[in-house]
Amino acid sequence: MINAKDFLQKLKEMNINYFSGVPDSTFKELTSEICEDSEVSHRVAANECEAISLSSGYHLATGKVGISYMQNSGLGKTINPLTSLLSREVYSIPSILFIGHRGKPGEKDEPQHKMMGRVTIPLLEILEIPYKILPKEINDATKLIEDMKKLAKKTNYATAIIIEKGTFEKREKREIKQNLELSREESIKEIVDKLSENSVIISTTGRTSRELFEYRISKNQTPSDFLTVGSMGCSSAIATEIAMQKPDKDIYCFDGDGAAIMQMGAFATIGNMSPKNFRHILFDNNSYDSTGGQKTISNSLNFEKIASACGYNYTNTVLNKTELNEELDKIKTISGPTLTVIKIKKGARKDLGRPTTTPLQNKEVFMSNLK
């Protein structure tokens, strides 16, 4: 396995010091090193399309080749800029893609990764992007990066480095002081306990859905919430249309800061559709919690002002348990759409499990209960 810090140093020695992207747990050790290295230019992108665009801007301004990093699920999102911006038939812009290979055929992984895992390599071939798997020995990996950088410059197009699980050594976690009172799991428990039988929850991908599922089980309830797996950033749109179709139900969307940033256009759609029964709950820990805790850009924006400008009827931010409970009582009396931002601590408990039902079973129970 490769030491991520040593590998990043090798990249810098090759004059590769520009990175943009959305982190992936497959190579979280490397992206965490990139985040913490002040010598590189690092752009935390809202989504993978933006990462490609930022890297393109870097090339147009400097003539140099940057790296765009992503999970293979994000590769699907990049098809438009790859074919209409980087393409040799359009602008001929060289770039190096670092792609984490989740759902690799033959390996155990989550359901949302299986199809993309299966089609990742064929998709790169269809896009005419040369690709190689990153070796797990640093000298071989360095040589490969040198070759793929030369190829990107020669062809004036993208090249791809596929990164598999276990490529990088685990790194020691940096302890971060946090002054916030609430965790996401504690907040979820408070909210669930306050909801009426008429309430419906659609939760975002990652630990939010996992914590919600486990709390239902701990209360001896049959989990009937819609637990979005994959499809990062899409939960709010799913919940909005459900709210429009079921005006007699109180619809709660459990969202995260990274997911909300990735599909920020949803705020405008929600404001325009203006479902009165829509309650947007946004857990903001300023991190991509499921992929290693890398920072999002939520600390530099104001979700309340964004939502208000987009047409939400009410917005507020809460910082502790008392404020949260007062907020939950208040939003029940207010016509939506409403947004409640809950500032929470990073992290989750180490023994957090995963839903024991399949996504298909979850969908069928959810639809049955929604009737």
**Max intra-chain CA distance, the chain:** 62
pTM for this prediction = 0.92
pLDDT-based confidence at residue 175 (cuts at 50, 70, 90): low
> Which helix (H) or strand (E) covers residue 212, if one does?
helix 207-218
pLDDT on residue 176: 64
pLDDT-based confidence at residue 174 (cuts at 50, 70, 90): low
For residues 103 and 84, the answer to whether their CB atoms sit within 8 Å is: no
Please say if the pLDDT value at position 173 is more than 80: no
Q: Please tell me if the domain spanning 4-163 has the same topology as the one spanning 184-370.
A: yes
pLDDT on residue 222: 85
> Which helix (H) or strand (E) covers residue 67, if one does?
strand 67-71
pLDDT-based confidence at residue 54 (cuts at 50, 70, 90): very high
CATH top-level class for 4-163? Answer: alpha beta
pLDDT-based confidence at residue 156 (cuts at 50, 70, 90): very high
For residues 149 and 14, the answer to whether their CB atoms sit within 8 Å is: yes
CA dihedral 332, 336, 337, 341 (to 10 degrees): -30
pLDDT on residue 193: 95
Which residue's structure tokens are 């984490």? 100
Query: Which one-letter amino acid corresponds to residue 16?
Result: I
pLDDT-based confidence at residue 368 (cuts at 50, 70, 90): very high
Transcribe 19-51 into DSSP letters.
EEE---GGGHHHHHHHHH-TTSEEEE-SSHHHH
What mean pLDDT is reported for the chain?
A: 95
> Which helix (H) or strand (E) covers residue 213, if one does?
helix 207-218
For residues 27 and 163, the answer to whether their CB atoms sit within 8 Å is: yes
pLDDT on residue 289: 85
The whole-number average pLDDT for the span 281-285 is: 97
- Rounded Cα gap, residues 357 and 209, in angstroms: 12
Written as six digits, the tokens of 270 are 């929600």
The pLDDT tens digits for 224-238 are 999 999 899 999 999
- Rounded Cα gap, residues 243 and 201, in angstroms: 11
pLDDT on residue 371: 85
Continuous H helices in 44-161: 48-62, 72-77, 79-84, 111-126, 138-155
Q: How many CA atoms lie within 13 A of 43 on its CB side?
A: 21
The pLDDT tens digits for 125-155 are 999 999 999 999 999 999 999 999 999 999 9
User: For the chain, what are the domain ranges?
Assistant: 4-163, 184-370
The pLDDT tens digits for 37-52 are 999 999 999 999 999 9
The whole-number average pLDDT for the span 12-16 is: 96
Single out the residue of 27, 24, 57 nearest to residue 41, CA to CA. Answer: 57
Strand partners, 360: none
The whole-number average pLDDT for the span 349-369 is: 92
Single out the residue of 256, 238, 232 nearest to residue 200, CA to CA. Answer: 238
Was domain 184-370 assigned CATH 3.10.50.40? no
Rounded to a whole number of angstroms, the CA Rg of the chain reads 21
> Which helix (H) or strand (E) covers residue 361, if one does?
helix 359-370
Instruction: Give percent above pLDDT 90 in the chain.
Output: 88
Any idea how long the chain is? 371
Written as six digits, the tokens of 27 are 């190579």
